[in-house]
Amino acid sequence: MLADFLGIVGMLLISFAWVTTIKNIPPRSLSGIYSAGSFFLFLYALFSREVLFAMVNLFAVSVSLYQFLASFKKEEYSQHKKESSQESALELKSSPHD
């Protein structure tokens, strides 16, 4: 009973920490490796019948996979923003000065 309570509190604290940092996208390589590692730990927990451990790792897979996919979107946005600023700079240079 106490062990279950401690496990639930730990799971909630870890989950809260992940949710609060979801906007801080880590490097893609870290997110990908973390996703894979958490997935294997999730499988291990299932085979071991450790429900809380499985839930924590399933959540970890979800968050890190989201961050992995979001890193592509962030890269795409950064590239678009860079191209837009370069186009604006070119337009300013080519416009006649009064």
CATH number at residue 52: 1.20.1280
pLDDT of 82 over the 80 cut: no
Q: Domain residues for 65?
A: 2-94
Confidence band of 1 (pLDDT split at 50, 70, 90)? confident
Q: What is the DSSP string of the chain?
A: -HHHHHHHHHHHHHHHHHHHTTTSPPPHHHHHHHHHHHHHHHHHHHHHT-HHHHHHHHHHHHHHHHHHHHHHHHHHHHHHHHHHHHHHHHHHHHSPP-
Supply the mean pLDDT for the chain.
Answer: 80
Query: What's the total number of domains in the chain?
Result: 1
Q: Write out pLDDT tens, residues 23-54.
A: 777 888 888 888 899 899 999 999 999 998 99
What's the whole-model pTM score? 0.65
**In the predicted structure, residue 11 carries a pLDDT above the cut 90:** no
